[in-house]
Every structure is written in structure tokens, then in C-alpha cells.
Amino acid sequence: MELRVIDKTDEELRLEIAGEDHTFMNVIKGALLETSGVAAATYDVNPEQSGGQTDPILSVKTEPGTDPLDALADASRRVQDLSTNFTSAFEAAL
């Protein structure tokens, strides 16, 4: 996972996350949308055949007072919590 910041303002972030695909990007996007202070979040991956940019680009827009990088860290935290919760629920059901 290589990160490259393309655009960054107080309320907007465009970030390239190299080496990831829909598996993780869609999960993190979903988590971002449920994070407080996030106004909009999406990601874009071009197919390999397009010849240009193929690594996913994550775009986050936040409400005033929230740093998009902090929001992203919150969302990552959220995904980890959710994984822990799922694993324990799964193990309890075994």
C-alpha cells in the first residue's frame, strides 16, 4: 500500500492508494460515509485496459472543522473494530 496525496485542502482530500482494489476501497468508502464530519466520499478505479491511471483514487470531502485525513484515520479504525467484532461473533457461532 503506497499513498500519494494528489490534492489536499482543509476540507478536501484526493489520495491515491496504490496496490488496492475494490475489495478494500469499497469497504473504506463505506466506512467513511458513516464517519461523522464526512460530507462525501468516493473512489475511482480505472480498468487496466484504460492504459492510464489504474490505482484507485479516494476522494473525501468533509464538513467544516474536520480534517479529511483525521476522518480517514477514523474510518480505518472503524474497519478494524468491525473486523474484530465480526471475528468474535463468527467464532462465538462456531
The DSSP code for 37 is T
Amino acid in the structure at residue 40: A
Candidate list 11, 14, 16, 27; residue touching other proteins; CB under 8 A: 27
Using the Cα atoms of residue 76, residue 81, residue 82 and residue 88 in order, give the sign of their dihedral.
positive
Of 33-92, which residues contact other proteins (CB under 8 A)?
34, 69, 72-73, 76-87, 89-92
User: How many residues contact other proteins, by CB under 8 A?
Assistant: 36
94 near other proteins, judged by CB under 8 A:
yes
Q: Please list, in sequence order, all residues whose beta carbon lies within 8 angstroms of the beta carbon of residue 75, skipping any fewer than 6 positions away.
A: 28, 31, 32, 34, 35, 38
- Which residues contact other proteins (rule: CB under 8 A)? 1, 3, 17, 20-24, 26-31, 34, 69, 72-73, 76-87, 89-94
